[in-house]
Structure 1
Amino acid sequence: MAETIPAHLPGTKPASATIVLAGATGALGRLIGQYLLQRGATVRALIRPGSGVKPEAAALRNQGATVLEVDFNNEAALTEACAGAACVVSALSGLHDVIVDTQTHLLQAAVAAGVPRFIPSDYSIDYTKLPEGSNRNLDLRREFSRNLDKAPIQATSVLNGMFTDLLTGQAPVVLFGLKRVAYWGDAYQPMDFTTTANTAEFTAAAALDPTTPRYLRVAGEVASMQGLQQAASAATGEKFKLFRIGGLGAFGNVIKLTKALMPASDDVFPPWQGMQYLHNMFTGLPKLAPLDNNRYPEIHWTSVREVLATKK
């Protein structure tokens, strides 16, 4: 956990600013809440009815957040929950019913309550540069962004590439057992990686900064597959090699086949969704530029090597 930092940083709101946080019991949301509290913000965490007994909610209370159980379909209750906030931050996770429908309810409540700023649950590669249909989950964020851009509120999206933490397990790229870094396409294509903690810390700083633009782009490290190979070798003391599986066209066909063979489900991250995300990154289209890492200079950015070194 990062050190507590002064609340009165250049361009930030005073320590007493109230931030409404939706999705506060998720992995990213909890960290955003913690970093907001470290910066002296008043955090009002919105959770669904019945979720107050969860240990994640108890942890938020113990850290100093106010936890409110709110029906996100109740416009009056949601508007009241947003009243007096300097910014509404969404860390909600889900499919269309959450990313588009629930976030739209939250957005409407923020506008009705007179909240000046809104940060949506984007936290991704730059979906604005991708063609429609190339990534289901990012298409949902694009759909919500159209609603957001029409609303009379200042919006800021935080784009961070891939969560670096996924490289130690969920993303089948660094194969520790085989000492290989597997990829499709070009081994030298630059890509963006940012830890969940760094993303949360930057989002907390942005929530308290009234001068943020429509998009903020950060990367804990910009690395190619060759860079990941070098980082894995340095982190483990073992020699990793590159393993090119095939071209991007072949990868696209594998994604289509995987999706066709899998039964329909409400899974937010089925295997083919992760494949779509990697395919997007390998193309280079959603590469983040320019980067805003220096906007809050107190943040220490965690490298890929540091993350891979935690793999036991």
Structure 2
Amino acid sequence: MAEPTVIPQRGKTTEPATIVLAGATGDLGFRIAQALLKRGAAVRALVRAGNTKPEVTLLRDLGADIIEVDFNSVTALTNACAGAACVVSALSGLRDVIVDGQKRLLDAAVAAGVPRFIPSDYSIDYTKLSNGSNRNLDLRREFNQRLDQAPIQATSILNGMFTDLLTGQAPVVLFGVKRVLYYGDADQPLDFTTTANAAEFTAAAALDPTTPRYLRVAGEVATVRGLQAAATAATGQPFKLLRVGPLGVLGAMIKVTKALMPSTDEVFPPWQGMQYLHNMFTGLPKLTPLDNARYPDIRWTPVREVLAAKK
């Protein structure tokens, strides 16, 4: 276990840093909480009143302080943030959460005098994309414009695509037909990071008072040909490439799909995933430079290991 990170307290001996975590019962948030506790942090997990998810009990058993809070009340959130070294958001949702909800959390952090804030980004580099190219990333860009105007030190963590999606939600590595599907250039470098690695890095960053505005990491940078080689090595069976067409074909498919389901409250409807892949295949949001070496105790999980677990 890593040595506890401590912050000086006026008139007191040093104590473990307190990190406030919103979204702690989600997959990424729960992993961030575990990583923070492993690093010796005092974790204050914010949950809605009446939350009965099993993660609440698990977090409490692991040593986290569970705080039931009204996420619509800046006053309640301010009280929950008091004395924290950093507020970390792992919230997931649409405008009401990513823009409005995080704005209330940000206002609370500022009012409570918290020195640092980590927003719920965990994505490709949306700063290089134009508005309208990805709904979910547009919301993150909008919130971060507000964050940049707030009197608080902010750090966004960008990690490309979650490698875990390659074994299910992202239709790229097709295990049934032994194909790797793609559009455009098979040699375009793409960024992949496991959820667990993103959580580990976020925990380390939350406890690091010297982080810059952006930190960029990739568990592995792989081309489509690299994914093909990883899938072949992971399964012991030869995978082939399946080029559907140029990026324009994918763009047209996105428009058709959105037209068939224009209004949706889903965070990840089919066309949203297609937008993400289109962004990645253009190469525009490629992460550079990478900050993988910032916390040398983190072991980055390669794509092959993730695909091997699918067998």
For residues 126 and 299 of structure 1, the distance between their equivalents in structure 2, rounded to whole angstroms, comes to: 22
Report what 1:7 is aligned to.
4
Matched AA of 1:99: I
Matched AA of 2:4: A
Please state if 1:138 is matched with 2:129: no
Offset of 1:15 from its aligned partner? 6.3
The Cα offsets for residues 163-184 of structure 1, whole Å up to 9 and x where unpaired, read as 0000001100000010000000
Offset of 1:8 from its aligned partner? 4.9
For residues 219 and 112 of structure 2, the distance between their equivalents in structure 1, rounded to whole angstroms, comes to: 35
Report what 1:95 is aligned to.
94
Matched AA of 1:252: G
Please state if 1:236 is matched with 2:235: yes
CA contact (8 A) 2:5 2:207 kept: no
Please state if 1:75 is matched with 2:69: no
Aligned residues: 304
Matched AA of 2:40: G
TM-score (norm 2): 0.96
Within 5 A, what are the aligned runs for 1:148-167? 148-167=147-166
Matched AA of 1:304: V
Matched AA of 1:37: L
Offset of 1:131 from its aligned partner? 0.7
CA contact (8 A) 1:100 1:140 kept: yes
Report what 1:56 is aligned to.
55
Report what 1:84 is aligned to.
83
Report what 2:10 is aligned to.
none
For residues 173 and 5 of structure 1, the distance between their equivalents in structure 2, rounded to whole angstroms, comes to: 37
Within 5 A, what are the aligned runs for 1:241-252? 241-252=240-251
Q: SS at the partner of 2:101?
A: helix
Report what 1:200 is aligned to.
199
Q: SS at the partner of 2:181?
A: strand
Q: Percent identity?
A: 76
Within 5 A, what are the aligned runs for 1:1-312? 4-8=1-5, 16-51=16-51, 53-312=52-311
CA contact (8 A) 2:5 2:17 kept: no
Which segments of 5 or more consecutive residues in structure 1 lack a partner in the other structure? none
CA contact (8 A) 1:15 1:39 kept: no
Offset of 1:7 from its aligned partner? 3.0
For residues 39 and 2 of structure 2, the distance between their equivalents in structure 1, rounded to whole angstroms, comes to: 6
For residues 224 and 263 of structure 2, the distance between their equivalents in structure 1, rounded to whole angstroms, comes to: 32
Offset of 1:155 from its aligned partner? 0.1
CA contact (8 A) 2:191 2:220 kept: yes
For residues 293 and 230 of structure 1, the distance between their equivalents in structure 2, rounded to whole angstroms, comes to: 23
Offset of 1:54 from its aligned partner? 2.1
For residues 21 and 129 of structure 1, the distance between their equivalents in structure 2, rounded to whole angstroms, comes to: 28
The Cα offsets for residues 74-117 of structure 1, whole Å up to 9 and x where unpaired, read as 11111000000000000000000000000000000000000000
